[in-house]
Structures are given as C-alpha cells and as structure tokens.
Amino acid sequence: MAEYRVVVLPGDGVGPEVTDAAVRVLQRLDIDLHLQWHPFGGSAIDETGVPLPESTLAACFDADAVFLGAVGGPKWQGASVRPEAGLLKLRQQLKLFANIRPVRPILSVAATASPLKPSAVEDVDLVVVRELTGGIYFGEPRERREEDGDVVAVDTCVYRTSDVRRIAELGFSLARRRRSRVISVDKANVLETSRLWREVVTEVQGDFPDVALEHQLVDSAAMRLVTHAREFDVLLTSNMFGDILSDEASVLAGSIGVLPSASLGAGTFGLYEPIHGSAPDIAGRGISNPVGAILSAAMMLEHSLGRPELARRVEAAVQETLTEGVRTRDLGGAQNTAEVAEEVAARLGDDKCQ
C-alpha cells in the first residue's frame, strides 16, 4: 500500500480543533498516511517570528498534500507581520492558483439551519472556482502615504491574460464534467481588470463549445445566489469576488462551518481547508463545526491522494451524521466538535457508507 505524505498546519483559533477532528476521521480509513504537523500563521509568529517558517514551506514542497485549519485573530491585528501574509505567500510559493469551493446543501439540515426557505436551497449543487493568486490581494504597490494632511491608502488590482486564461480553462473543464454551464462573475461595467477578465473568459469558451457561458456583474450575482441558487453550476470569478461570494453561499448550507475547499495548481498537489476563519470568539470551547474540515479531507482524498472511493465514504458518513441530527450548535444541534467527528468516524464502518 502506498504511503501518502500530508503536512498538517493547525494554525490559529479553532484551526487545531477542526484539524484534529478531520485527522480522527482520516485515521479510520484504510489508507497509509504519514502526517507531519508544522507551525503556521499566528502560532508560527509567536514561535518563530514569521507566519510561514522556511521549515514549514520546505515540508509542504515535499508533501503530497497540505491540510490547513485556519489562521488569524485579534492577537495579531495591527502587528507588522500578519498571519494572513503567510497564507498568501504559501499559495504563491506552491503555485496554487485555483480555489474550488463546492456548495451542496443537505436539505434536512438547511431546512432548519438556513434562514432561507427550503425551496430556495432544494437541488442546489454549485461550485465556486475562485482565482487565487492575482487581483487586489496581491497587487503592488500597496502603501499608505500622506497627501495634503490626509492619509491615503492604496491597493492595486492587477490581472494578466495568463492569470485569467488558466483559471477559466479549469472552470470550463470542471463544468464539462458537471452540467456544462459557467457563470463568470465580474464588474466589467466599472473595472478595467474585469473587462480583461470578461474578454479572456469569452475567448477561452471558444475551446469549450459544449459548455454554456453567461457573464454576470458581481452585485446581481450576489442577489441571484440567494434567490435562484439552483441556476448556478460553475461560478467562475476573481480572487476577492470569489472570497466574498463563497462565504455568502454558506447561507445556503446553513453554516459557514460546513463548506470545504481545495486550493489547486497544475498537478495533483493541493492545499485543503474549510472556508471558515479562525473564529477566536469560540476557540478552545470545543464547539466549532468540524464538517467543513472533514469534507475538505474528502476533497484531499479524491484529488491529491487518488482515492475517490474513500472520499465518497467520508461524504456519505457526514451526510448520514447530520441527517440523523448529530450537529454542533451552529446547525441547531447539541454535540461538540469531538462528538460530531467521532460519529462521522464511527459511520465509516457502516455498510451504508461503503
């Protein structure tokens, strides 16, 4: 049996809690995992002075996949070095240009946990394909300066044709394996980068004539996402818009705590993490929702470790656990983080999850 090397970056806040929960589930599977824990984010700043130590980065380069909890918190706000800088650098160094965020609400869960009516979330099955290494998060210059006694802050949004082309090609390829529809989101009525985005996406669609393409402005897409979400198949968008829209989409599932993500590059290597943040207000209380982390582990099993059959088992175990009412507080349940993880792990031996 092959051994798979996975670097675990617990991070900050609830990160260690949800990564431990996901690892507990992974360890119930018939797979040989070599797990290595390394400091990252705010905890790494406290330990080494930097959010991404060289030893952590080297271990990631030598792994088959990276599994991340979350980074950040008020402790490091206003500091000269922020935990989030480590995450941006890690994505850049590992050449992870695409963030994949699937949204498939479990109706029995969303019916009680989502503020939307059940008919709004029924049959929703979409995936956000977010460009990850360009846009305003990485633009230069990034500065503050004084002008006429006032402080001026500058962030620069930059996109290149090559950036847009590669994320569009991935989005169309994914749509071809789904329902063959891409909705590309931009702000082309205002932003030059969005006009370039729209031009390149339209050009790429010519190589995928079997996939339908629709362009939509980000503000109307945000409204449509909570009113007609089932119309979305692949939602293709830039870095900042994808960050915001995928968090908005969590309302469809009932909680930001249940959505997974994968950050991918050109090969099978990937970085996997729940889309939620470090939630410092509930850190250490054992009540964080581990489902997003567990489903991120399922994405890792499928894409980076080549074990889609195990991914399906984990997904089935999660669905059964939640459907039977075993849930954390954010979903209206009474169980804690460890209890939900244990229930999912226990169901992996159930014939219904084979």
Cβ atoms of 181 and 237 within 8 Å: the answer is no
Produce one character per residue of 76-96: b if its CB has 16 or more CB atoms within 10 Å, e if not.
Answer: beeeeebbbbbbbebbeebeb
CA distance 45 to 41: 6
Q: Which residues are catalytic?
A: 137, 187, 219, 243, 247
CA distances from 146 to 82, 91, 149, 287 (A): 23, 32, 6, 45
**Among residues 339, 345, 316, 311, which one has the least CA distance to residue 326?**
339
Q: Sign of dihedral through CA atoms 320, 323, 326, 328?
A: positive
CA distance 156 to 175: 31
Contacts of 58 (CB under 8 A, 6+ apart): none
Task: State the Rg of the chain over Cα.
Answer: 20
